[in-house]
Amino acid sequence: MLILLLGIIFLHISALVLLFVSTTVSVSKTLWIQVVQALMILSIIFSFLSLLLFFCQLFTLPKGGRFIPTGIFQILASLFVMSGAIIYTLMSPDWVNVGNSFGYAYILAWVAFPLALISGLIYAVLRKRE
Q: Which residues, listed in sequence order, are joined to residue 66 by a DSSP beta bridge?
A: 127
Q: Which is nearer to another protein, 28 or 89 (CB)?
A: 28
Kindly state the smallest distance separating residue 31's Cβ from another protein, in Å.
6
Give the Cα separation of 1 and 9 in Å (integer).
12
Cα 72 from Cα 37, distance rounded (Å): 22
Which residue type does 63 have?
Answer: K
The CB-of-17 to another protein minimum distance in angstroms stands at 20
Q: Does 47 bind another protein (CB under 8 A)?
A: no
Q: Is 2 in the site for another protein (CB under 8 A)?
A: no
Nearer to another protein, 65 or 130 (CB): 65
**CA quadruple 103, 104, 110, 116: dihedral, nearest 10:** -150
Contacting residues toward another protein, per CB under 8 A: 27-29, 31, 34-35, 37-39, 41-42, 45
